Each structure stands twice: as C-alpha cells, then as structure tokens.
Structure 1
C-alpha cells in the first residue's frame, strides 16, 4: 500500500507541480503589483472590520476558519519533515512559497467571493463555483468538487489526527497493546482517537456557525501561545540564531541533500501548510459578509503570513537552533546529518517535541500534544466544512439523499483510522489529496485570468474606491465586465438607490475607468 501511494505521489508531486506553484505565485504577484506588500496595512485594518449576518460570517471568523485549515500538523510535523528530507534550506523555500503564495491566496479567495451563492440560508462558494461560472466548464468544476470531497473527507483528516496520536504516544507512552482487525494498536492511540471523534462529532453536526465560533477563539489563542513558547526557546539559545539563519540561506542553494530536495520539500510542505493555491481558502472566504470581494481576498492573503512566516518559522527555528533533527540521504538508513536516533520519524512531531523538551524540560512533550490537538482538530473541522461545501455544490444538480450523513461518518472514520496508523501512510494519502487539488485549482485560476481577469479587476475597483475616499464600498460586476457574479449583481441593484447619492459619483467614475483601463 505504501509503495503504491509513494508511486502516485511521485507522479503528482513531479517538478512540474512545484514550478507551477511557484510560477503562479510569481505571476499573480506581478499582476497585482505585489499586493501582499503594497496593501499589508489594509489587510490588517480589514481583519477586524465587518460583522457577521444571518447568512454569512464576519471577516475575522472567515479568517479563523481558513487559518484552522492552514494551521495544523503541517506547521509542526510538516516543517520537521521538510527539514528532515530537504535540509535546513527547505525552510527558505517555504518562505518563498508563502510570500508568492500570498498573491495566489488573494486571487483564489477574491474569486470565491465574486462567484459565491446563497444556499439554504448561508453563503457558499469555492473553486467548483467559480470554475462553472467564470470558466463555463461545469465538468471541470465537478472534477474539482469530487476530488475535494475525497481529499478533505477521506485523505487529509488522517494526517492531522495522526500527528495528535503520535504526539500523545511520545508524551504518555504506548500503554497496553491491543490486538484489533487493524493490527496491534497502542491503548494510548485508541483512547486519543475516541476522544477526537467524540468532540469532532459534536461540532460538525452543529454547522458552519458552530465551527466558526469554535475556531475564532481557539486558533488565535493557540497560535499565540505556540509562538510565545517558540520565542522562549529561541531566546534561551540566542547565540546560535545567526548560525541557523546562515544555514537556511546557504543550504537553500547548495543544500546537503541536493538542491532539488530542498526546493521540493520546501514547496510541498509550504503548500500543504499555508494551502495557497490549493483551493481550500476560497471556501471560507466565500462565507464572509463583506462589502467588496477584494476585502476578503486581502484578509485571506494575510493568513498565509500568519501560517508560514510566523507559525512554521517558529517551529523551524526551534528545531534548528537546538539541533533536534536528522537529514535523510538518498538511501534507506543513510543520514547526511544525524543528531537524533535513527528510528525517530521525520514525518512526526518528535523533532519539535525534542527541541522544546531540551530547553524546557517537562514542558515540550505535553505542550506539543496540546498544540497539535487544537491545531489539527480545528484543521479537521475546516476539512469537513470544505467537503460539505463541495457536496452542496453537487446537490445543486443531483439529489443525494443521505450523503450529508455519509460524509460526516466517513470523515470521522478516516480521523479514527489516521490516529492509530503509521505516519508515512497518512502523510502519503494527504500529499495525494493536496496535490490533486493544487493541480486543478492553479490551472483553473490561470485559465480564468486569461478569460476575464475578475480578481485583478476587483482589486483595481477596490483600490479606486479606496483612493476616492468612499464611505460605503460597492461592487458592480457588470460594469467591470465580470459575468456570472449573480449574487453581486442583485446586491448592487438593491444598494444602488441608497448609496449612489452619498458617493462622489463623477470623481469615482473617472477614477474607476482610469484604473480598469
């Protein structure tokens, strides 16, 4: 099974996908004139503006749901794997993919807002919706929706829960070994799996509002606590920091494991962690209640910084500054750097736990278990919401009675299975899911750009209104030549009577025409 999964991953995660991720990020960075830098202050302002409604959640709640998907086991075990297989230089390429990916995140999330729909009393949107409406290719949208339901409902939850199970076992021991139909399993992992599934069941049966309410409290608190612990570890080893930074930049171009390994693992784990281009962020972005689609695109762009430049960097510095890592060579059992026992898996939270434990004895193991539980648990919640949204998309055309319950049951089963099984198998399945979604989404948003440029037009429209100093932002897709944005067409028609008299219309018109031209 493992060899089959590895072979599939070798095809999906070929150099072509790595260059596609980096290339798309660079492409949209140039087109938006590096929006991730120019409008950084605006991102911060928008983060705390806006309110929820009966149909949509607030910008901050949407960010929290999105971050719950981005900040997960990839920030702890994923970073360790990048270093373990790609060397310290892999961290540099994680930074690169995050910086460029912020522009991709703006683009896909703005598209999610532009082409969203109102479905059963709440906003729904995502790649499947904008592929159908902007590309006019329903078959492509269906492929993405089905692939995403399989990826987020079956393949990816196990990666998150596996990290929790491994961390719990490292912290508390295996306990009794129980013989089951799935093989010999540790009692610790079984009890951990049961606990996760019980709490998860309570939340996912409560809908998106309950998911948003839970994540908006847990994610910021846990991320901040994690960064504080990381800063403590770094501060107590401050003399080693210059050497670590030097190793990251030096090894990025002449790495010990080969330049291809550093780039490959840095991009793979960078995309897995921050999800820019993967197509998951637009689902949460579409659920937000905002005045203009570009606003949520900017907020979601900021989330990439939080995920990779803050949380992933914190993990990387802890591991490298304490030397709590090995670097695997080309063959089995061959190490280019070996600081830890050979049996310690790179695809696990062990490196991070060891790093914290060295500096803060008695804190590292239980703290990483707690951090992984909340990070990974909230990520599983985000996966459920994404899978449910794509199922809702399919149900617009087909009647699928009982599929909502089947999705919940399958995700819970996958979560349980991932908790108790091996890390390599879980990560392999997760990489397949991430890779498939990334291929489909990045190709799709590039095609959409060449058809009508909706995300770029929306950004120019927003900046023109901002420059004109309007008090209430509006979005008129018809005027911008954006077709298929039915939600915003209807909304603008309702708003136009009330808002037009308040805005400096003539000045705004000239500014918009100039910017769009």
Structure 2
C-alpha cells in the first residue's frame, strides 16, 4: 500500500513538474539568461497582474484605505455574510502552512532575495485578486439566504451559459479540494503532536494510542464544522483567524525585537540578493526570482480562482468593494505574514553560520524552528517559540482545511441540491482528510502529499486565467461605475441580467 500511494503521488508530481516547468525543460529556452529559468505559467501570472494593475490605474494602492474602512464598518447581514466574515474566511484559506513551509522553501532554495520577488508577485497579484473577486460578486447567485458564486458561476456566464459548464468547473474545484485536503490533515496532526511533546517533554511514538486519539478528535471537530453549514464555519473562522494572526505576529515581532540591530541588514540583504544571490543559493538571479514569484503566488492564490467563492458569498453594496477587500487579503498574506516568516529565517542567519550544511538538510518546519532558536539564543526561549509556532501552524492548517471543505460543498450544490449527494461529498471529504492524517500516523512523507497540492494549483490556474481575460471588460465597466458613483449597480450597468443585484438595489 505504501508503494502504491508513493507511485500515485509521484505521477501527480511528474504532471505538475511538466506544467510548472514548461518551457524550462526545453534546452534552447533554458539556455536563455534569467528568463530561461522562469516557467511560462509564472510569466503569465505576473504578466496578468501587471496588465490588470495598469488598466485599473493601480487600484490596489488607490483604494487600499477604502477597503480597510469597508472591513472596519462591516456588520452581520441577514442575507449572505458580512464583508469582514468573508475576508476572514478567505484569509483562513490563504494563510496556511505554506506561509511557513513555502517561504522557508523559497528562501532556503533561492536565498533571501526570493522574499523580494514574493513582494513583487503579491503587489501585482493584488490586482488579479481584485479582478476575480469582482467577477465573483457580479455573477453571484442566491440559494436560500446565502449567496454562492465564484469560478463556476462566472465561468458558466463566459462559456455559453450552459449548466454543464458550471457543473464541470464546480467538479474541478471539488477535485482541487480533495487533492489539497490530505496535506492539511497531515499538518494538523503534526502540530498536535509537536505541541503535546513540547508540553510534556515526552516523545510520542508513531502510531501510539494518543495520536489515534488526536485523529478521532480532529475528525469529530471537522464533521461538526462542515455539517453545520457555511455560517457555522464562518463563526469558527471569525474566532480562529484573528487569534492565529495576532499570536503569530506578536511571536515573530518579539523575536525581531531581540535582534533589532539586524533589521537594516535584513532589508539590505533581501534587496541586494534579489539581483545577486550568494553562491550557496546557486548565484543565479533566475533562481531567486523563480522561487520567490512561485511561492508568493501559491501562498496568496491570486489568479487561481480558488478564493473566488469566499468573495462571492459576502453581501456588498458594490462588486468592487469585495474586489478591494480581497486585494487586501493578498497584502496580508504575503506582504505581512510571509515577511514575518522571512524575518525569522533571514535574521536568524542559520543559513550563513558554521554548520549551515546541517540546516540546509533539515525539513522545512525544522529549518524554521532552528532559525527561531538562533533568534532567541536560549533553550527556554526556543521551547516557548516551538510551542507557540506549533500552535499557530496547527491553526493555520485547520482553518485552511475548513475553507477547502466549505467551498467544496458550495461547488457540490452548484452541481446538485440533492441532500444525498451533498452528504456524500461531505463524507468523501472526511475520508480524504482521514487518509491525510493516517499517512502522518504511519510515517509517510509530507512532500508526497504536497505533490498533490502542486498539481491541484496548476490545474486551477490553467482553468481560471483565460476566464479572467474573458471577463475583464465587465470588471472595467464595474470599476468605472464604482469610481463615477453613477447610481446603484444593477443589470443596466453591464447591459445584461444580474438578478441578484437588481434585488439588492
């Protein structure tokens, strides 16, 4: 069985590498300086962000403060969920284990300069997030007292309006969720074990009854959450997301305060090594650039369409309101959370000290914790940091898991409202979650499960990017209406039927 699972995961990895790497796997292209190290998909994602940024007149800067005001002044809604609840739900999916593991992988492979390119990808990705989230709001639909929408809805509108189109896109998202859920289950169990070991000081053996107890507890918590519907999940994320964000931010800032004299050096090394990486990281600009952009885009998910659904479920006075809010979500994820991880990795300097070879051989989470130890410089401090980071890591994974499960169900409802079908999708999701946790318990390698996620990510990018271009004209019209404040947004604004917006206004 172990060999079978490994073989299946390796097939997905080969497919993901083929698409993610194209055309760097072609000799003549790979021989080109700098650009030869950049896959086509990364060029397209960044190019799309630049195109949207220029045509929307740097919307991510111009309306940043406006978006914050919308979040601050949001309140509970009778129909849909509030803008703040939608923001927290999308943040639950954006801010996940990748904010630690992904950044660690980028910096340990591409050097400190990779963080600079993560910032660049996030800045332009904010415009891409604005476009897909605005489209999600424009074409959202109503089911009972809730709004639904996102990629399946705007995709159906742009590809002929046939119900089968929406069904296929909904099914693709369900597949995406099923491929990503195992890694989140794996990470949550890892965090629970790490926290317990830290508190008790005892090593927990693989497959012990305690770990199986964690398995049952997590299955019960997850089942309770998803069988309560979207509102129960948003109630949970409304609590957990602010807690995990505040705790992680405070923990890292405390470590930074202990090494405050290194802060100017941090920014210097990030910027200079973005263009001149050290030999230990390959010494090539393309490596830092490719690693930074890829990990940045995969962290904030701009352009994948995977966060179009939390954007659609919110009540909004104008579609562009939610677009601006989701752009802020990209900022929070990459410019704030990923940078905090970068502070620890780079200012810890484990990568440049004697014995750095051992650091490079560690797993990603171990690298990050070792960097925490360098920042704190004491055994007691390291123990406390390990506990706090493990708790944050576990909450990151659990809230991300809830996001996948909830929007998998929303997509299932796009296919059929049959109760048996919806329950079946919930049970399949729980089964896949159980698989992810069991792989941890029996000692399976996490990297194999990340292979599934890599394939899922590229699959969604290939589906979503063409649709964003098809719908960009609609976004421009909506944005012009938003800026000019020409009355209420409704069907007449875009000269096409928008029944939800006609009802709102």
Same fold (TM over 0.5): yes
Equivalent-residue separation in structure 2 for 1:397 and 1:455 (angstroms): 33
Alignment of 1:176 with 2:196, yes or no, is: no
Note the C-alpha offset of 1:316. Answer: 0.8
How many pairs does the alignment contain? Answer: 464
Paired position in structure 1 for 2:370: 354
Q: Using a 3 Å threshold, how does the CA distance of structure 1 residues 310 and 113 change in structure 2: closer, same or farther?
A: same
Note the C-alpha offset of 1:355. Answer: 2.5
Q: TM-score, normalised by structure 2?
A: 0.85
Note the C-alpha offset of 1:158. Answer: 2.2
CA deviation map 1:67-120 (0-9, x unaligned): 000011011111111112222221111111111111111111111111011113
Paired position in structure 2 for 1:46: 70
Q: Using a 3 Å threshold, how does the CA distance of structure 1 residues 193 and 25 change in structure 2: closer, same or farther?
A: farther
Note the C-alpha offset of 1:437. Answer: 0.9
- Describe how 1:464-475 pairs up with structure 2 within 5 A: 464-465=484-485, 474-475=488-489
Q: Using a 3 Å threshold, how does the CA distance of structure 1 residues 194 and 365 change in structure 2: closer, same or farther?
A: farther
Equivalent-residue separation in structure 2 for 1:480 and 1:254 (angstroms): 48
3-state secondary structure, aligned to 2:147 = strand
Structure 2 unaligned regions, length at least 5: 1-6, 22-38
Q: Using a 3 Å threshold, how does the CA distance of structure 1 residues 297 and 321 change in structure 2: closer, same or farther?
A: same
Alignment of 1:294 with 2:320, yes or no, is: yes
Structure 1 unaligned regions, length at least 5: 179-185, 328-335, 493-517
Equivalent-residue separation in structure 2 for 1:169 and 1:21 (angstroms): 37
Q: Using a 3 Å threshold, how does the CA distance of structure 1 residues 147 and 260 change in structure 2: closer, same or farther?
A: farther
Note the C-alpha offset of 1:350. Answer: 1.7
Match of 1:313 among 318, 339, 351: 339
Note the C-alpha offset of 1:419. Answer: 4.2
3-state secondary structure, aligned to 2:387 = helix
Note the C-alpha offset of 1:187. Answer: 6.1
Deviates more, 1:32-41 or 1:454-463: 454-463
CA deviation map 1:401-459 (0-9, x unaligned): 6533334433432442464432211211111111111221112111222xxx1122112
Deviates more, 1:415-424 or 1:454-463: 415-424
Query: Is contact 1:174-1:187 (8 Å) kept?
Result: no
Paired position in structure 2 for 1:431: 454
Note the C-alpha offset of 1:203. Answer: 1.0
Paired position in structure 1 for 2:308: 282
- Point out 4+ residue stretches in structure 1 off by more than 6 angstroms: 396-399
Note the C-alpha offset of 1:486. Answer: 2.8
Paired position in structure 1 for 2:244: 222
- Describe how 1:143-158 pairs up with structure 2 within 5 A: 143-152=168-177, 154-158=178-182
Deviates more, 1:275-284 or 1:97-106: 275-284
Match of 1:460 among 480, 485, 498: 480
Match of 1:345 among 338, 363, 376: 363
3-state secondary structure, aligned to 2:383 = coil
Alignment of 1:116 with 2:140, yes or no, is: yes
Paired position in structure 1 for 2:46: 22
Normalized per residue, the structure richer in helix is 2
CA deviation map 1:248-307 (0-9, x unaligned): 222222333333332332222212211111112220111111111111111111111111
3-state secondary structure, aligned to 2:142 = strand
Paired position in structure 2 for 1:211: 233
Equivalent-residue separation in structure 1 for 2:95 and 2:424 (angstroms): 28
Note the C-alpha offset of 1:190. Answer: 4.2
Match of 1:69 among 69, 87, 93: 93
- Computed over aligned residues only, the root mean square deviation of the Cα atoms, in angstroms, reads 2.6
- Describe how 1:229-308 pairs up with structure 2 within 5 A: 229-255=251-277, 256-257=281-282, 258-308=284-334
Match of 2:124 among 100, 115, 127: 100
